[in-house]
Amino acid sequence: MREDSRSCLWNLVRVTLLLSLQKEEDGFQLEHERGERIRALLDQQAREIEEFDAKSLEMGFSTVVITNYGDQVNCWVICFPVFYS
C-alpha cells in the first residue's frame, strides 16, 4: 500500500511539473503572438500615416498638427498654399 501511495504521489508531482511547463510555454507563445500583432499594427499605422500625409499634400494642406492631452485629442489643419514648379 505504501508503494502505491509513493507511485501516486510521484505521478501527481510529474503531472504538476508538466502542467507548469505547459503553462510557461503557452505564456511565451502568447507573448510572442502579442508582439507580432503589435508590430503588425504599428506597421499598419505607419502606412496609414504616410498615406494620410500624401493625400493631405495632394489636397494642398502643408501641415497637420495632432495633439493628444490624455483623453482629449485635438487636430488642427494649417493650410498653406503649396506651389509646385
Please report which confidence band the pLDDT of residue 64 belongs to, taking 50, 70 and 90 as the band edges: low
- Residue 60 is predicted with a pLDDT of 75
What is the Cβ-side half-sphere exposure of residue 46, based on CA atoms within 13 angstroms?
Answer: 6
79 found inside a domain: no
Instruction: Give the count of domains, the chain.
Output: 1
Burial readout 29-50 (b: 16 or more C-beta within 10 A, e: otherwise): eeeeeeeeeeeeeeeeeeeeee
pTM: 0.57
Please report which confidence band the pLDDT of residue 48 belongs to, taking 50, 70 and 90 as the band edges: very high
Give the domain range for residue 7: 2-59
84 found inside a domain: no
Mean pLDDT of the chain, nearest integer: 82
Question: CA angle 52-55-57, nearest 5°?
Answer: 110
Residue 1 scores a pLDDT above 70: no
